[in-house]
Structure 1
């Protein structure tokens, strides 16, 4: 995946944490991710389609998910519940939506957010777009951003 494709997502994570949560998200290492295995038990997932295909995943510990939801909802949430699930989905949606603006040449549509929980859960990425994983150290703890993004193949005219 090219830097021009991942950079809008990196900026969107930092911006979402800053504006919506009043917190910092500091970028760490970037690596090729495992297209199936998740590190943490909570994942907010968004599909991308248009002149590119892909998947965006924010992968969080329960603690980071609860602290993020607490800040968003101005409440003290200490365990995974429906409000936390909704907040994680909304965070994924905001990140994908902000990146979409910078990737306007791909005329992307963003799916509704899906949130999956459970230790060892899997997320399937399109085979044409294996994920790049970026670690973030947030004010609430570590999280991962996983992005698989592949511009659609343009067929030559006849």
Structure 2
């Protein structure tokens, strides 16, 4: 099972959710967080489809608001992809747990 985490600035989150729903958001309300959750599902679903023969198990992403620290299990390899935009940075981290 792998654990995906997407991290982005509030500004970028508001812009992305607004673009997805064709709205303007000033705060992270329920509609905004739902859109971000759907974005995370699309990213993770597309990533999983790139490895059809790997039988990869990926836990569903969660939307966490605010400043939090994510602690990964020790010794798990982490893949981190950073995307910089003019409106902020998006980081995708995936902790990979090998099959037994």
Q: Hey, what's the Cα distance between the residues in 2 that align with 1:66 and 1:79?
A: 7
1:64 aligns to what SS in structure 2?
Answer: helix
- 1:111-149 deviation per Cα after TM superposition (whole angstroms, max 9, x unaligned): 333111122x13243445242332211253212111112
What are structure 1's unaligned runs of at least 5 residues?
1-52, 154-158
SS across alignment from 1:116: coil
Q: Are the equivalent residues in 1 in contact too, given 2:2–2:57 (CA < 8 A)?
A: no
User: Do the aligned partners of 1:55 and 1:126 also contact (CA within 8 Å) in 2?
Assistant: no
**Is the Cα–Cα contact under 8 Å of residues 5 and 61 in structure 2 kept in the other structure?**
no
Aligned residues: 100
**Stretches of 4+ aligned residues off by more than 4 angstroms:** none
Distance 1:54 1:122, change over 3 A: same
Contact 1:93-1:112 within 8 A present in 2 as well: yes
1:122 equivalent among 61, 64, 69: 69
Whether 1:90 and 2:10 are equivalent positions in the alignment is: no
User: TM-score w.r.t. structure 2 length?
Assistant: 0.83
Q: State the distance in 2 between where 1:114 and 1:135 align.
A: 18
TM-score (norm 1): 0.56
Cα gap change, 1:61/1:125 in structure 2, threshold over 3 Å: closer, same or farther?
Answer: same
Tell me which residue corresponds to 2:6. 58
RMSD: 1.9
Question: Match of 2:76, SS?
Answer: coil
Deviations 1:6-37 (A, max 9, x none): xxxxxxxxxxxxxxxxxxxxxxxxxxxxxxxx
Q: Which runs of 5+ in 2 are unaligned?
A: none
The counterpart of 2:93, out of the listed 146, 149, 158, is 146
- Tell me which of the two structures has the higher relative contact order, counting C-alpha pairs closer than 8 angstroms and 6 or more residues apart: 2
